[in-house]
A and B are shown apart, each in its own frame.
Chain A
C-alpha cells in the first residue's frame, strides 16, 4: 500500500486551564499544595488518511474533534505524538519549514460568520494567500484565478468588491471554501462546514465539496457531528469519544454493522424522516468531562456491556477481518453486545 497522505501517530493534546497562581493552591490531606487542571482533549489518537479518500471524524460535542483537526493543521502543538504528511514529519517544523505544507493543507471552519475577516472584501480574502504563496504570479493571473474559483463555488463574480456582511450564511461558506481551494491544496480539513446552515443550503455546500473533491482529487478530513452527512460523504469514518477513538471503519461497513457499543448507541439515535419509532439504545449516566477521565475504557460509565476489566484496563485497537479497527474489550472477547 502507498504511503498515506496524512498520518496521525499517537497524538496527545492537553490544555492547561489552571489560571493564575492563586487558582492552583488547593487544600488537600491537611496541607496546601499546587494543583494544575488539565483538559485531556485528545489522548493517544492514531489514524491515517489515504490519498483521495474522505475520512470523517464523528462524536459528541467536546470529544476533541476540532482539537485534533487543529493539531493536524499545526495550529496547536501536540503534547506528544507525530503528524506525518506524505511520510514527512511536520508537527515540529519551524514556521518557514512549514510553509510548503501550508499550501498543500487547507482548513475550512465551522462558523461562516466568524471565519471571514469582516474588513476584507472577497477580492482581498482570496488574493492574499495567492500573493503570499505565489509571489511569481502577475496581478492578471491572480485575478483570473479568483474569477475561476468564484465561478466554481457558485459566487457571482460581480461581487468581488463586497464585504462578508453583505452575504448570507451559505454564500459566506462558499467564500470560505473558495479561500480553502484557491491554492490548489491536496488535503482539506473541514471542521463542521455545514453545521450552521439550513438543509436547503447545506445540500448546496455538500454537493460543492463532493464535486470539488472529485474534480481535483482532494483528500478530506471531515469533522462533523451530523451522522446523516457522514454517511453521505465518507469513505471511512472514525468515531471519537472523550478524546479517544473507539472505532475506525469503512463507512458502508460502519453504518451497516456498527460494533463498538458507543457507535451502536450513536447510530441508533439518528432520527430518520418517515420513521416514527424511537427504539434507540439508551446510555447510562452523563458524559464525563475530559478533566477527570475515567480509568479503563473511557466509555465504561455509560456502557451497559462494561465488566470489571473495562473499569481498569484501557482497551487498545484491534483490527477485525474486514479492516475495522476497534477498541473494546467486549468485542475483543467476543462477548454478546447489547
Chain B
C-alpha cells in the first residue's frame, strides 16, 4: 500500500562556516489520506525544518542531503523549483509558525486570497472572489464580505489565524502542515481553531501534520504522533498508545513534567539538563546525558529504531 506522503530516510544539513551540521537525521514518516499526525518536541528539535523540507522551503544554508519524499506517488524531493511551486500552497499548504510569512501587511485580505488563487488556478477574478468568500465562511469568520477589504492589522489574533487557515484552504489541499497554529492564541480560541481543523479533515478528507510543543493539543487532535529530539524521531506511533504508554525515557519525561498529571503542589518531574545544540550532539544516544535509565552502551552506540508489540517505533537501547 502506498502512502499519500512518504518521508524516507530524510537528512537535512545546514552548511555553516564552521562545517555542516545535521538538523534532521534519518527521519521516516508517513501520512495517509485523512490522517492527522502530530509532530512534537522541544524548541530546536527540528519540527519546523521537517515541515519546510516537505515543501522544499528550507531556508539557506539548509539543504536536503539524503533521503526522499514522495507525495501521491511522485518523488517531490527531486522536483525543480518550478515544479514545486505547483504543489506548494496548492496540493500541500503550510500554516507557518510566523503569521507574517503568510500575510502581507500592505495588502488587503481579499487581494491576498485572490492573488493566491489566480497563481494556481485558471479562473476569473469573480470566480476567485467567490471561492475566497466560501473559504472565509468555512472558517466561520463573522461578516466575511467586510473582511475582504480589511488589512491584517485590523483583525484580532484569533481572526487572523482563521484567515491564515482560510488561505491555506483556498486550493483545496490534500495536506495541511500546521506549524504551531495556536501557540500565540488563548485557550478558548485555540480550542475553536483545533475544532475547525479537525472538522475540515473529516468533511474534506484532508490530511494534517500538526507541529506543536503542546502534547495536550496533539492528544486531542491527532491519531499518530512523532516525538523529535535533536533532529531525530525517537518515538513514533498511535497518539493514544504513545501518550498513555510512553516507551522512550524522553517521552516519559515530557509527559511527566506537564503540570496536571500529578497532584497540585507536588514536585513536578523534571528532565535534568537541556537539549544539546546541533553542533555538539553527544555520541551514542543524543539523549544519554539527560537520561535516568541509561547504560554504558547508550554513550557509545546510536540506538536502532525498534517496533514494540503495540506497533510503536522507539529508538532506545532499553527497549
Q: Which residues does A use to contact B, with CB under 8 Å?
A: 60-61, 168-170, 198-204, 206-207, 210, 225, 227-229, 231-234, 251-252, 265-266, 269-278, 280, 282-283, 285-287
Contacts and interface: CB of A to CB of B under 8 A. Distances in A.
Given A61-B186, A276-B240, A200 B42 contact: yes
B187 A200 contact: no
A225 B198 contact: no
B237 to A, nearest CB: 15
A269 B188 contact: yes
Contacts of B142: 285-286
B219 A274 contact: yes
Given A170-B274, A276-B240, A269 B260 contact: no
B290 to A, nearest CB: 8
29 contacts: A61-B186, A169-B43, A198-B43, A199-B257, A199-B258, A200-B253, A200-B270, A200-B271, A200-B274, A201-B274, A204-B270, A206-B268, A207-B270, A210-B265, A225-B187, A232-B262, A232-B264, A233-B259, A252-B264, A271-B190, A271-B214, A271-B217, A272-B220, A273-B260, A276-B240, A278-B220, A282-B192, A286-B142, A286-B159
B191 A271 contact: yes
A273 B198 CA distance: 17
Interface residues of B, number: 46
A29 to B, nearest CB: 25
A304 B301 CA distance: 59
A228 B214 CA distance: 12
A199 B43 CA distance: 10
Most buried by B among A229, A266, A280: A280
Nearest to A59: B186
B188 A265 contact: yes
Given A265-B188, A287-B156, A231 B264 contact: yes
Interface string B131-144: 00000000000100
A241 to B, nearest CB: 11
Contacts of B99: none
Contacts of A60: 186-189
Nearest to B260: A228
B195 A278 contact: yes
A283 B188 contact: yes
Contacts of A168: 274
